[in-house]
Structure 1
Amino acid sequence: MFGWKMTLVFPNATCTLGTYAKFQFYHFLILFLIVSGESNLSKVKQRFKRTMQENNMMVFEGDEDQNSSLNCIYTQLHITAGGSEAPCAEHESKQLRAQLNETKLVNDEFSVNLSDIFKCSPGQEKYRTVLTKGVAGIGKSFSVKKFTLDWATEDANQDIDFVFSFAFRELNLCSGEKSLHELLTEFHPDLLHLTAPADYVNTKIIVILDGLDESRLPLVFKDNQVVTSVHQKTSVGNLVVNLMKGHLLPDANIWITSRPTAADMIPVEHVGLMTEIRGFNDSQIKEYFQRQFAEDLDLATRITSHIQSSESLHFMCQIPIFCWISALLFQEVFGDEEPDIPQTLTEMMAHFLSTQTRRRMKKSGGMPVKTEESFLALHREFLLKLGKLAFQQLLKNSLIFYEKDLEDCGIDMKEASVCSEFFNTVLVEEKIIHQKKVFVFVHLTVQEFFAALYIFDSFLNNDITELDDFLHMKDSEHTLLDLLKTTVDKVLGKAYGHMDFFMRFLFGLLVEANRRVLGGVLKTSGLSQDTEKKILTHLKSIQKKNISPDGCINLFQTMVEMRDHKVKDEIEEYLKVQDRSGMELTPLHCSALANMLQVSKNDLEVLDLKSYRTSEEVSSSCLTAQWVEHLAFGLRFPHSPLRDLDLSNNDLRDSGVQELCKGLESQYCRLERLSLSGCMVTKEGCGHLVSALRSNPTHLKVLDLSYNNPEESGINQLQEIKNDPEFKLRCDHGSIERIKPGFKKYACDVTLDPNTVSKNLLLSEGNRRVSWAVEQQTTAERHKSEICLSQQSLKERCYLEVDLLESCSVVLAYGSVMEKRGECELGRDDESWVFTVADGHCYVEHGRNKVEVESPNWHSRLLGVYLDWEAGVLSFYRVSSDSLTCLHTFTETFRDALQPAVRLHLHSSVTFSSPV
């Protein structure tokens, strides 16, 4: 059974045994075999446990100089069930930000103990496979080691016979076809005697596959070769797939760890439970530094206080390995009482490389160089080759490198081994299976920083011949400004969305103080003094409509890395005042506000953007498909507090509703009120909503589909699926006209009342145009004005366009005002609103306030008027051929219908036109 040979000698055939004697003989024989087998299985198990204990007891944190007991340094991590579904192309900082907000909402019900990861709650369906996600450096591999060590030392999971652990970075090196048994014995020689198939069937096994994101194996789940025997040979990638699909070791549990970027490599039907490792909270950060500096708690307190004072550093210290980097750096910085204490991530990385250089120089003793700069200069060529490696692998979103990867970047292996001894706090060399080597940067941010170093040096020297795959620039000569602008465009694009920190570091290196710290590596020649100023201007001028929300935030944080805090200071000042009408918020201000809300420790119960005065680029209702994707993601992630979502007046169409329903149908969505008023929804969109409400029928109580075209069939579908008496469905003001883009869906027909036309005015064009009819007037009458009322009153959502010629006004007022007061009072009370064009200037009047609005040279003549009576919004727009520009918006609580009117002067005319 376990490979041992046993010989049984039966009595001579002539020797007879009685029936009872035969029974006793075979009975004892079977017992002997069973006991012998169990004894041997126990020996294999104990031997394997001892090996696993030895392999996992000691670990190094960051570099090989600090080999420590895992039990001593391990800090309990927060693991939750569920896990968010961040888009794969985004940078992992987005995942961290989601976790930072979500941590305040997670309760113990969703927490998972590491040792209990395969233990089901009462009434919960048993699951076979667990996928644990976590950003780089969050502690996935440490958790695997801790889980294995606790099993091996018999501190947990003693009902499990074997825990087999594989790292994908090692599996990548396994070539040819192998059986599962051969693969196991290659990694774990103690299992050589586990030969019979029954040995795997009759034992409880957990297989751990660590670091799916590092896999370079072809993992084909569709139409792959099925393997059911542990002795059947196939490719290593196919062995892994068959383990995940349950063809191999169907009774075993499978635990897979991965960065979020690769989690979707496994089809969801093969994952029983999704979990997520969350970062350190404030108390854990404090605990970490107190443990690191147990002999100097004052230093621990100073470091913790400094980190909490810097938004960027505090945010990154959610990651355990970043805490380790911070400990190494600030031990040197605070120990030497340096005046320049790093505040930004670029400053931190520059000082980190500098302090580690100093640290290595002290250890080397016999080095002929005397300064950090000369030491860095000595190794400049190697460091830039390292930067090239970092950049090339960053493009592939890869964190591990093999010898061939280094050789492709011109790095000699002997040189790498020698230099890694000096820079092993930056680049770590690991010996893995078959004594082969694998190299990793201590953290993704370090890799991104080195990539930025390489690119910055290439830009300074205008050496971009090897950057064609990234830049796609045809000309050979470029200014540094051109190269930086192109990089911004690339990183903000979806294909390179995972390179956000790279861009921050690249622009942070424009700061002279950061380059001075790295003087031995970076040359400053070729950098004009105004480049930094020009690129800041460019970043602020970028149109944000086609950029994701996280891309906008990244632009803001890039400026922070350049030590430009103007936008942040403006938004902080803006939030302090109660009257916010004096300052207009740009998209960049909104990005700063979003960033502040994300990192705030306080919960925000209501965010009403209508209460802020925003620029037209922000206020115009133009949610794109990409933005809806992010909204759907927000509805999907667990513990979301969102209960009320108003998307009114966005041209989502049925396709946008379909995307939104991906969040609405999630079991985690607790939305109670959803407004899709004026979103161009038809009966097809209603079908998507019906499907989502079938999947998640409990929570939604109010659905507003007014100003759409659901038709009777769409309304009936929704009413049938939601027969809850508390459910309120609104579908008023629906028609085919609502399936028009922008405000045109609210176009209304306005005609002028002939009974209000004086002898000085002339009506034409079906009572839509009124003009001043009398050419000659006395001097006294030249400044006289006339008013003409419309035949309609407006009490819903309306949009009209008015062609204005010469000096004239558009008025909206309550009907009672028109009847009882003279025209001279219009705009000078609280019951009328007036927009006036006079002598090339525009101004609005209401409540005795007269405000001039920005509209230099009123050339277009066409004025757009938008009224949302129920919402209390009245806006005036300048209309051009391809856009609307908001001139002014009034927010009121209207008490009655508004009647349009016009006021004319000599030579003026007004025409109400139908928006096309």
Structure 2
Amino acid sequence: MSVKNNYSGDYPPLFSQEPVPSSTKRQQFRADFPGSSTMSMKSDSSRNYPPLFSHEPAPPGTKRQQHRADFPGSSSMSMKSDSSRNYPPLFSHEPVPSGTTRQQRNGEFPGSSSMSMKSDSSRNYPPLFSHEPGTSGTTERKRAELLPYCASCHEVLKDSSRNSSCPQCGERSRIRDLHLQKVSDALKVTLRRRCERVTEGPEKSGNGTLLHRIYTELYIIEGQNKEFCFQHEVRQVESTCKKIPCETPISCQDIFKTLPDQQRSIRVVLTYGVAGIGKTFLVQKFTLDWAEGLENQHISAVVLLSFRELNLVRDEQYSLLELIHVFYPTLQSVTAEQLTVCHLLFIFDGLDESRFLLDFTNRKLVSDVTQKSTITELLTNLIEGNLLPSALIWITSRPAAANQIPPKCVDRMTEVRGFTNAQKEEYFRRRFRNKELSSRIISHLKTSRSLYIMCGIPVYCWITATVLEHMLTTEERAELPKTLTDMYSHFLLVQLKKKKHKYNKWKETTQQELTGADREVLLKLGRLAFEHLQKKNILFYQEDLEQCGLDVTEASVYSGVCTEIFKRESVIFQKPVYCFVHLSVQEFLAAVYMFHCYTNRKTEVLQDFLNEDISSLEDFLIRAMEKFFLIENGHLELFVRFLHGLSLKSNQRLLGGLLGQKECNTLTIQRVINNLKEIKTYDKCPNRTINIFHCLMEMNDLSVHQEIQDFLKSQNKSKKELSGIQCSGLAYMFLMSDVLDELDLVNYNTSQEGRQRLIAAVKNCRKARLHDVWLSENHCKTLTSALMSNPSHLRELHLSSINLEDSADTLFASLGQPNCRLETLRFENCSLSEISCAALVRALKSNPPYLKHVDLIGDNLQDSGMKQLCDYLESPNCRLETLRLTSTLL
């Protein structure tokens, strides 16, 4: 099936260094938009590549131009994008052929990609009503033509925004409808101003580029990938970056439209995706198209709210009507009665950024839009349909937070995906005019599996481009980064150099030179990053900074000048909110801080984190790995990788003494490497054990990688004995390869622990055979995630001579999940208990559409189990074609 190439919506705006239009062209453009205004804004990145925006009018006859002619007073004021401060603009250095129109130029690059830009939805721009300059004539005449009301109706509307009756015709509903139309028009102007442009740089308003110019459709698929709940986001990108599923993509504008096979209407949509993948950009595009009258005009009003805004009022009580009035002054004239008859869409962006939990169990019932309550109760009642049941709800979230919304409350679950391998390369070829430079960067990335995989995240593409361009185009002769730790260390230094340059203090220095002031601020930022990484917070407020010893003015210097590391945003009430450019940057600085605490013997911090005294580097890193294994969803995975990479002297020299250099000699590093290879993981999740292999790679130990390559090339694999760490590396290689036809653990000469680690590869095979291996609950969860992944490749699962007992319950529960495509299930001599047999029957009754063959030979089912299975066979809903049993009765 052909799938639309539309992944690029989350990337930095791709500006072209076009020749500046002549003054005549500027005047012509401004004549077309007489009410437009632009405000200059200073940008960190603009010092190197000043954005040059085209002032050419759009080609005549286009739908968009015709529509925008209805808004002659529109403003081109730049709305700062939340994510745009994270992802500075990507500038093209390609010269523009003379005489080439913008439309032709865009045609040359049909796959142009763009980074996700978060909408600065918190800015409260004044409502633009029809009596403002440039709108009164056209809009009112059109409204009068479309609505054949009497003159008195219009007079009443001018004098009052309430539902007064017309003294001439007595019409009340007409006055209400005319008023709502006027408010809707004003809201569209407000949202258009807010969403039509995206910018990067400091938080004050500035110029930007049109969203329509840079936007490319994001790839959205329907369905939930439930395995995401147990994985770090880097692993999630690894799971989806190498192939595109065969599902039909859903367009942004069709997010609420039912598919042909769906029976019920779509009221609540939950869209999830990893950080930086384009979720906010998606809702911004949807909102702008509605505001410009291009799409979804059956909706009366779009209320776009971010959780970072709602965090600021989380301790206060509002009615829903008051909440809307606070965030949208344009809607202050809308009454409770009018609100209930409007066709509203509420967009709640960034659930993962919420500082309050959505409690659907203990919440108070709220059904009146004038009833005051907490923000949590307002949102839960809205989602459940108790409050404004006709309103549409759209929620975006990172995967780990998406489970706050009960599945029964969600009518559609959608996922936004990242770059495919082909699009990664396309990104870098578009990023640089110099073809040799782009080719060198792509070739270098392909030499490191971890670097190449990370480029599935749009933000990381930009981080990589920033570092490698700097290193390849300056006088620096350092070796190019080969690990994530190397890459982020260089990224930190590049941004610090930009900061010094900005303040005219920059001079040619060696990489080892970090000033004392820089070290002090970076360690404070590291403490902030670490403490909130443990709390799973990615947003910080003034009090959070102060608790870590960061002066607000000091932080502002880094946010206003070094926006790529740390940024400041102003949301509602102009309160500052702080965050790192990306979660991976927060994880890196957190690791820097924790390593510094170890080398400087800050025992209290270490004990709070690891719950015991630390005596050596080996002990420190082993305890950190154990802590990672204990975390439910593995959110410390990248943090632990960085810790191991920072133990190398090369990275410590690079960061100029920021970490300290105690005990990191060659013998110590070798002991750490040996410890990693010998870690025992009998009851650990097989997916987590792969991180041990990644930590070895971060320490530049390639021995296991080479051993695996030799094993794969050998002619007699069964005679080659594999260690546990080799099995982890082999499982990772299988996961990154094409789908395996069969994975049979009997074919691998390894220990019980080695076979357990290989179970991680079940996710990427069509047929899996597991024989004589002990499965803990964590191992069954791994099999479950393979069955529930989106897409799931597994068609046959054979388990034999395995004492599952009650551990099979978790596995059986996945059979009825919508992503499961299992056709054959064989449990031979697996000692199924009565409880497990009941769980299997429940799973079969859920009507899994693909499961046709079940084999339970040798399980010696008891009377109760046999009876339940026989009853199921006689039911009209049974879809099994084959059921093989062994019973003590036979």
Question: TM-score, structure 1 length as denominator?
Answer: 0.74
Residue 884 (structure 2) aligned to one of 730, 745, 759: 730
Q: Distance in 1 between matches of 2:213 and 2:653?
A: 39
User: Is contact 1:667–1:696 with CA below 8 Å preserved after alignment?
Assistant: no
Q: 1:570 aligned to 2:740?
A: no
Other-structure match for 1:313: 451
Other-structure match for 1:276: 415
Structure 2 stretches of 5 or more lacking a match? 1-155, 756-771
Report SS of the residue matched to 2:680. coil
Other-structure match for 2:798: 646
* 1:560 CA displacement: 0.6
Residue correspondence of structure 1 range 538-577 to structure 2 within 5 A: 538-577=675-714
Q: Which amino acid aligns with 2:219?
A: H
Relative to structure 1, the CA distance from residue 375 to residue 70 in structure 2 (aligned partners, 3 Å threshold; closer, same or farther) is farther
Report SS of the residue matched to 1:507. helix
Q: Which amino acid aligns with 1:489?
A: E
Q: 1:514 aligned to 2:651?
A: yes
User: Is contact 1:707–1:735 with CA below 8 Å preserved after alignment?
Assistant: no
Q: Which has the higher strand share?
A: 1
Residue correspondence of structure 1 range 119-130 to structure 2 within 5 A: 119-124=257-262, 125-130=264-269
Residue 85 (structure 1) aligned to one of 226, 232, 247: 226
* 1:177 CA displacement: 1.2
Instruction: Report Cα offsets for 1:354-383 as digits up to 9, x if no partner.
Output: 122223333322458845543454310110
Other-structure match for 2:437: 299
User: Is contact 1:100–1:598 with CA below 8 Å preserved after alignment?
Assistant: no
Relative to structure 1, the CA distance from residue 338 to residue 50 in structure 2 (aligned partners, 3 Å threshold; closer, same or farther) is farther
Q: 1:629 aligned to 2:796?
A: no
Q: What percentage of aligned pairs have identical amino acids?
A: 39
Other-structure match for 1:792: none
Q: Distance in 1 between matches of 2:164 and 2:182?
A: 27
Structure 1 stretches of 5 or more lacking a match? 11-24, 737-916
Q: Distance in 2 between matches of 1:425 and 1:614?
A: 46
Q: 1:708 aligned to 2:859?
A: yes
Relative to structure 1, the CA distance from residue 87 to residue 123 in structure 2 (aligned partners, 3 Å threshold; closer, same or farther) is closer
Instruction: Report Cα offsets for 1:775-806 as digits up to 9, x if no partner.
Output: xxxxxxxxxxxxxxxxxxxxxxxxxxxxxxxx
Relative to structure 1, the CA distance from residue 711 to residue 394 in structure 2 (aligned partners, 3 Å threshold; closer, same or farther) is same
Other-structure match for 1:771: none
Relative to structure 1, the CA distance from residue 43 to residue 288 in structure 2 (aligned partners, 3 Å threshold; closer, same or farther) is farther
Report SS of the residue matched to 1:321. helix
Other-structure match for 1:148: 287
Q: 1:265 aligned to 2:401?
A: no
Q: 1:674 aligned to 2:825?
A: yes
Q: 1:413 aligned to 2:564?
A: no
Relative to structure 1, the CA distance from residue 563 to residue 733 in structure 2 (aligned partners, 3 Å threshold; closer, same or farther) is farther
Q: 1:330 aligned to 2:468?
A: yes
Residue 338 (structure 2) aligned to one of 166, 186, 199: 199
Other-structure match for 2:317: 177
Q: Which amino acid aligns with 2:160?
A: K
Report SS of the residue matched to 2:807. helix
Q: Which amino acid aligns with 2:623?
A: T
Q: Distance in 2 between matches of 1:260 and 1:639?
A: 16
Relative to structure 1, the CA distance from residue 87 to residue 286 in structure 2 (aligned partners, 3 Å threshold; closer, same or farther) is closer
* 1:562 CA displacement: 0.6
Question: TM-score, structure 2 length as denominator?
Answer: 0.76
Other-structure match for 1:5: 160
Q: Which amino acid aligns with 1:730?
A: R
Relative to structure 1, the CA distance from residue 2 to residue 461 in structure 2 (aligned partners, 3 Å threshold; closer, same or farther) is farther
* 1:309 CA displacement: 3.5
Q: Which amino acid aligns with 1:358?
A: K
Q: Which amino acid aligns with 1:342?
A: P
* 1:706 CA displacement: 2.2
* 1:389 CA displacement: 0.6
Relative to structure 1, the CA distance from residue 68 to residue 569 in structure 2 (aligned partners, 3 Å threshold; closer, same or farther) is farther
Relative to structure 1, the CA distance from residue 343 to residue 205 in structure 2 (aligned partners, 3 Å threshold; closer, same or farther) is same
Residue correspondence of structure 1 range 329-368 to structure 2 within 5 A: 329-336=467-474, 338-367=477-506
User: Is contact 1:2–1:193 with CA below 8 Å preserved after alignment?
Assistant: no
Report SS of the residue matched to 2:525. helix
Relative to structure 1, the CA distance from residue 339 to residue 383 in structure 2 (aligned partners, 3 Å threshold; closer, same or farther) is closer
* 1:411 CA displacement: 0.7
Report SS of the residue matched to 1:670. coil
User: Is contact 2:824–2:852 with CA below 8 Å preserved after alignment?
Assistant: yes
* 1:551 CA displacement: 1.5
Residue 347 (structure 2) aligned to one of 185, 194, 208: 208
Report SS of the residue matched to 1:131. strand
Q: 1:163 aligned to 2:305?
A: no
Q: Which amino acid aligns with 1:204?
A: H
User: Is contact 2:798–2:825 with CA below 8 Å preserved after alignment?
Assistant: yes
User: Is contact 1:369–1:375 with CA below 8 Å preserved after alignment?
Assistant: no
Q: Which amino acid aligns with 1:543?
A: K
Report SS of the residue matched to 2:568. strand
User: Is contact 2:558–2:566 with CA below 8 Å preserved after alignment?
Assistant: no
Q: Distance in 2 between matches of 1:232 and 1:317?
A: 48
Other-structure match for 2:731: 594
Q: 1:462 aligned to 2:601?
A: yes
User: Is contact 2:217–2:251 with CA below 8 Å preserved after alignment?
Assistant: no
Other-structure match for 1:658: 809
Instruction: Report Cα offsets for 1:124-150 as digits up to 9, x if no partner.
Output: 121210111111111111212122122
Q: Which amino acid aligns with 2:396?
A: T
Q: Distance in 2 between matches of 1:97 and 1:734?
A: 47
Q: Distance in 1 between matches of 2:889 and 2:631?
A: 37
* 1:81 CA displacement: 0.6
Q: Distance in 2 between matches of 1:376 and 1:290?
A: 36
Residue 235 (structure 2) aligned to one of 77, 85, 94: 94
Q: 1:607 aligned to 2:733?
A: no
User: Is contact 2:558–2:567 with CA below 8 Å preserved after alignment?
Assistant: no
Q: Which amino acid aligns with 1:669?
A: C
Instruction: Report Cα offsets for 1:54-79 as digits up to 9, x if no partner.
Output: 21222246877995443344343211
Other-structure match for 1:854: none
The number of residues matched between the two structures is: 711
Relative to structure 1, the CA distance from residue 606 to residue 451 in structure 2 (aligned partners, 3 Å threshold; closer, same or farther) is same
Other-structure match for 2:373: 234
Report SS of the residue matched to 2:513. helix
Other-structure match for 1:523: 660
Q: Distance in 1 between matches of 2:605 and 2:244?
A: 46
Residue 842 (structure 2) aligned to one of 686, 691, 696: 691
User: Is contact 2:359–2:380 with CA below 8 Å preserved after alignment?
Assistant: yes
Other-structure match for 1:768: none
Residue 112 (structure 1) aligned to one of 211, 227, 250: 250
Report SS of the residue matched to 1:137. coil
Instruction: Report Cα offsets for 1:506-557 as digits up to 9, x if no partner.
Output: 0001122222211152322443432211111111111121221121100101
* 1:88 CA displacement: 3.6
* Deviates most, 680-689 or 367-376: 367-376
Q: CA RMSD in A?
A: 2.7
Relative to structure 1, the CA distance from residue 8 to residue 438 in structure 2 (aligned partners, 3 Å threshold; closer, same or farther) is closer
User: Is contact 1:86–1:260 with CA below 8 Å preserved after alignment?
Assistant: no
Relative to structure 1, the CA distance from residue 3 to residue 87 in structure 2 (aligned partners, 3 Å threshold; closer, same or farther) is farther
Other-structure match for 1:488: 625
Report SS of the residue matched to 2:719. coil
Instruction: Report Cα offsets for 1:164-187 as digits up to 9, x if no partner.
Output: 111111101114211112211211
Other-structure match for 1:860: none
Relative to structure 1, the CA distance from residue 212 to residue 250 in structure 2 (aligned partners, 3 Å threshold; closer, same or farther) is same
Relative to structure 1, the CA distance from residue 291 to residue 233 in structure 2 (aligned partners, 3 Å threshold; closer, same or farther) is farther
Q: Distance in 1 between matches of 2:570 and 2:317?
A: 23
